[in-house]
Structure 1
Amino acid sequence: MWRSQTRRPLASRPDEPSHHCEREADMSDQSATGQREGAGTSARVVLLLCLLAVVFEGYDMVAYGTTLPSMLADPAWNLTPARAGVIGSYALVGMLVGSILVGGIADRLGRRTLMITATGWFSAWMGVCAIAPDATLFGVARFFVGVGVGALIPLAAAMAVEFSPKGKNHTYSAIVWAGFPGGGVLASLLGLVVVDAFGVRAMYWIGLVPLLVFVPIMLKLLPESPSFLLARGRVDEANRIADRAGIDRPEPPRPGEKVGPRALFTRELRRATLLFGLLSACGLLLTYALNTWLPKLMQSSGFGSSSALTFLLVLNAGAIIVPLFASRLSDRIGPQAVTAASLASAAVAILVLSTDVSSWLLFALAFVAGAGTIGAQVLIYGFAASYFPASSRAAGTAWVASVGRLGGVTGPTLTGLVIANGSNVAPAFYLFALIAVIGAIAALLVPRQRNNAAVGQAAAVPGIARQDATT
């Protein structure tokens, strides 16, 4: 069974000074310069910054849905439902573009710079949404919001895993990803108060808060990835950041090791790269298809509109709550079995949703379905971020996000076609269950990471405490 990273402190070579002394010297330097500098680079501070960034992007993506009814009712926007749907897809396409772009450059330009840039980028374009005079410019702005959000997603995943303490890779990843639906909840709650009182545009003005307030905080507190610095030969700086964050020091790249996207399709990683792409496509297809169509499917099954919407709430509640516990289990037994079991349980729950059982059981099944589909996507991101080596981690998570977006774009359309061509809604549930089973199989087929030459090499390198090769 594949397990998450193991990290071991490695001994210094006899002919070189002990890094225990060096670490003590670093700590002395930190004490001499005061607590402010060290506090800004702790692992928990990095986790909080990543979490808040994802909360803001969740807000920005859901804000459109909260303002859409008012925009459709306002003749000034000249929006039809069809045109509104097209504008909604612009952000998804932008997310795909952003994920692809950042995958090619993050492991070369650094996580910190791009993460701060992406946050400022999507926030600035929310301001453009606020001043857009018509739906055309508004749609362009939504596309560029999506570009920034798509770029931030793999960066936040990579940073959360890299700055996670020993044995908490998947827990940190799940906490960060809980921020996305959390941002959606924030947008929904603010929408209830803001839209009627201050108008649609106020929701988008709020989207400027990250640029004006959060980006300056990130500039002050967010450190660069130690693995990125080490790969650039900035060894002392990498070790200092790792020490102050309370994490193990990074492992240096192997001689001739490929960096970034080129590493993903080497013989060692090619199969895993393709399987992670399939796994993410299944996860996001289910995420967007269920979020789009579940209320309609349950309404067609005989439930009233309010009850049908409650199914959506329960679905997303499962997606928020369960991954926080499943991620801890992933840290203990490995993410492969947990991810596969989540998707398999979702497949069973979705199949039973298509049958005639009691309402309370259906709500429970919707909770399980949300945990095993939308929640499984949280596990998939953490699985991938901890699987790929540090030299290609951002590229790997960007690949997972990019291919997943293809599934996300396909899901609602494919489900609509199935419903349109059938006399009942059962085939749509069968489709969801089949996709979940394919995802579970893909998770089980991801090759185990094997100990390789990096282990032996790292053993000869003094002071290297972070071990990415796994068993």
Structure 2
Amino acid sequence: MTSTTPRPEAEARRRRTVIWIVALATFGLVFDGYDLVLYGAVVSTFLRDPTHIGNVTPAIAGLLGSYALVGVMVGALLAGAVGDIIGRRKVMLMSYAWFSVGMALTAMATTSIAFGWLRFSTGLGIGALLATTAALVSEYAPADKKNLINAITNGGIPLGSLLAALLAILLMQHIGWRGLFWMGALPIVTLLPLAYAKMPESVVWLASRGHMDEARAVSERTGVPLPGTVSVRTEAIAPAGTGKIGFAGLFSTHYLLPTAVLGLMSATGLMLVYSLNTWLPEIMLRAGFNAKGSLSFLAVLNGGSLFGALAASRAADRFGPKPVVAACFTTGAMALLLLTLGFPLAGLLVIVAVVGLGTSGTQTLIYGFVANYYRTNVRAAGVAWCAGFGRLGGIGGPMLGSTLIGAGFKLDAIFYVLAGLGLVGALLTLLVPMARAQTARRPGQVEENQGPATPLQRPA
């Protein structure tokens, strides 16, 4: 393997490229988070006023909350099937257009049936975006900052969630829920044109598929070195024609166990995320807070997840993501238990912020964990599996909340159930084998990532 020192001008181009990619990818995921929490912010309106989309009971509200997640699951799995074949850039551009149109059409829904189908359709685009964003960002991020940069990018999700809660507090009474959904369509006239001009395809992916002329051209334009020209030990690259691609590689003997455990871990985390983001405002309304007060808890939840994940990502780059994710799950579970102890308002807000770290913040770290776990030619499929199969838990989240509330469970009992889910997530994280992103080798072939274990590769 050749080792060279990057030229200063190439390094400058690389920094600019990484900044553009991170900014565009983060902006895209802001609208994923916006969509996630926007439904939770308006569901209380639907429950109390049938003039909007018809009569909505807690059971129907749970189903409507799950429709989008079914779409996310299907979209993620479909994108995972093609993202490692046709590339990250094409899938991401199509996703921006798709979910923008879906949000606009949802703003015009007049029945719960139409609303549900449009939520499903919007979810297809969001799922496809999730499945490819982490893969592209991971392949451009510097080796020693992969978890931090993935956390910054995926921090767009809680940032969008926070934005949805704040806009609902400030604007709901002025523009209604339809106006808030119209705002979710803005990427088609803002993000999509910028991404078309400024978002390159992955150099690593192009090289792994044998498109060497295009890879050289993108490498020269972006300053990102071709695989094999700079010593990069954390990137696992299978040469064109070697190793199984996409889901075939993901479910090969080499990856089968970690794929199963990572999928279950993501499903547990997303069940927590969607339970809380859908039902926390309603739970707090029933606890005696007014409408704006209950939405404030939603804003604090997502603010805690955003800043907590950024802080935790630094620890993940130093110690490896596995122990940090397990610790965050456990912290979230303990915080959910504290919510049952009757703290005053200021204390409750602090605890809810910690719950945000242990739920949405943990899921942010999980996406980075998974993106860096797999080799290039199965990476998009791996993230798609995490986002897609994990959505089974997300689908169950709103339904779990509606079941517990509809059955008359006390608020403390609901928090006990959610805390139990957090502990299950911590246990599953500890069961993930050490990172196995190794290349498929011919006899005598040297691996790109041969060398001492990196923090990602250490056993926890």
Superposed pair shares fold, TM > 0.5: yes
Q: Is the 8 A contact 1:58 1:182 kept in 2?
A: yes
Match of 1:369 among 350, 355, 361: 355
Distance in 1, matches of 2:309 and 2:145, equals 13
Distance in 1, matches of 2:279 and 2:181, equals 26
Match of 1:178 among 135, 142, 155: 155
Match of 2:428 in 1: 442
Q: 1:338 is matched by which residue type in structure 2?
A: V
Match of 2:87 among 98, 110, 113: 110
Q: Is the 8 A contact 1:72 1:79 kept in 2?
A: no
Are positions 1:52 and 2:43 aligned together?
no
Match of 1:331 in 2: 317
Q: Secondary structure at the match of 2:190?
A: helix
CA drift of 1:98 comes to 0.8
CA drift of 1:433 comes to 2.0
Q: Secondary structure at the match of 1:95?
A: helix
Match of 2:55 in 1: 80
- Identity among equivalent positions (%) equals 37
Distance in 2, matches of 1:244 and 1:90, equals 42
Decide whether aligned partners of structure 1 residues 214 and 317 sit closer, same or farther in structure 2, where only a CA change above 3 A counts.
closer
What does 1:265-344 align with in structure 2 at a 5 Å threshold? 265-297=251-283, 308-344=294-330
Distance in 2, matches of 1:68 and 1:226, equals 43
Q: 1:314 is matched by which residue type in structure 2?
A: V
Q: 1:43 is matched by which residue type in structure 2?
A: V
Q: Secondary structure at the match of 1:81?
A: coil
Q: Is the 8 A contact 1:63 1:187 kept in 2?
A: yes
Distance in 1, matches of 2:353 and 2:164, equals 22
Q: Is the 8 A contact 1:40 1:222 kept in 2?
A: no
CA drift of 1:241 comes to 3.1
Are positions 1:207 and 2:189 aligned together?
no
Distance in 1, matches of 2:456 and 2:281, equals 44
Are positions 1:128 and 2:105 aligned together?
yes
Larger deviation, residues 247-256 vs 70-79 = 70-79
Q: 2:21 is matched by which residue type in structure 1?
A: V
Q: Secondary structure at the match of 2:326?
A: helix
CA drift of 1:271 comes to 1.0
Q: 1:58 is matched by which residue type in structure 2?
A: G
Q: Is the 8 A contact 2:304 2:361 kept in 1?
A: yes
Match of 1:148 among 99, 102, 125: 125
Match of 2:340 among 354, 370, 395: 354
Match of 1:260 in 2: 246
Decide whether aligned partners of structure 1 residues 94 and 169 sit closer, same or farther in structure 2, where only a CA change above 3 A counts.
same
Decide whether aligned partners of structure 1 residues 223 and 290 sit closer, same or farther in structure 2, where only a CA change above 3 A counts.
same
Decide whether aligned partners of structure 1 residues 186 and 301 sit closer, same or farther in structure 2, where only a CA change above 3 A counts.
closer
Distance in 2, matches of 1:67 and 1:433, equals 25
CA drift of 1:199 comes to 5.7
CA drift of 1:185 comes to 3.4
Larger deviation, residues 153-162 vs 242-251 = 242-251
Q: Is the 8 A contact 2:281 2:298 kept in 1?
A: yes
Q: 1:286 is matched by which residue type in structure 2?
A: L
Distance in 1, matches of 2:203 and 2:365, equals 24
**Structure 2: segments with no counterpart, 5+ residues:** 228-235
Match of 1:223 in 2: 200
Q: Deviations over 1:79-133 (max 9, x none)?
A: 2223565444322221121112111111111110000001111112233334556
Q: Deviations over 1:201-257 (max 9, x none)?
A: 444443343222321221111111122211221224324534654545435415631
Decide whether aligned partners of structure 1 residues 307 and 271 sit closer, same or farther in structure 2, where only a CA change above 3 A counts.
same
Distance in 2, matches of 1:320 and 1:243, equals 34
CA drift of 1:146 comes to 1.1
Q: Secondary structure at the match of 1:274?
A: helix
Q: Is the 8 A contact 1:163 1:245 kept in 2?
A: no
Decide whether aligned partners of structure 1 residues 412 and 259 sit closer, same or farther in structure 2, where only a CA change above 3 A counts.
same
Decide whether aligned partners of structure 1 residues 158 and 357 sit closer, same or farther in structure 2, where only a CA change above 3 A counts.
same
Distance in 1, matches of 2:40 and 2:347, equals 29
Distance in 1, matches of 2:69 and 2:447, equals 46
Larger deviation, residues 227-236 vs 355-364 = 355-364
Larger Rg, first or second structure (1 or 2): 1
Match of 1:427 in 2: 413
Distance in 2, matches of 1:63 and 1:423, equals 25
Larger deviation, residues 391-400 vs 141-150 = 141-150
Are positions 1:384 and 2:370 aligned together?
yes
CA drift of 1:300 comes to 5.7
Distance in 1, matches of 2:280 and 2:174, equals 31
Match of 2:392 in 1: 406
Distance in 2, matches of 1:313 and 1:284, equals 18
Distance in 1, matches of 2:159 and 2:436, equals 36
Match of 1:169 among 119, 125, 146: 146
Q: 1:185 is matched by which residue type in structure 2?
A: L
Q: Is the 8 A contact 1:281 1:408 kept in 2?
A: yes
Decide whether aligned partners of structure 1 residues 309 and 48 sit closer, same or farther in structure 2, where only a CA change above 3 A counts.
closer
Distance in 2, matches of 1:71 and 1:353, equals 27
CA drift of 1:307 comes to 5.4
Q: Secondary structure at the match of 2:341?
A: coil
Q: Is the 8 A contact 2:237 2:375 kept in 1?
A: no
Q: Is the 8 A contact 1:91 1:145 kept in 2?
A: yes
Decide whether aligned partners of structure 1 residues 348 and 454 sit closer, same or farther in structure 2, where only a CA change above 3 A counts.
same
Q: Number of residue pairs matched?
A: 443
Q: 2:78 is matched by which residue type in structure 1?
A: L
CA drift of 1:420 comes to 5.2
Match of 2:382 among 355, 380, 396: 396
Match of 2:231 in 1: none
Q: 2:359 is matched by which residue type in structure 1?
A: T
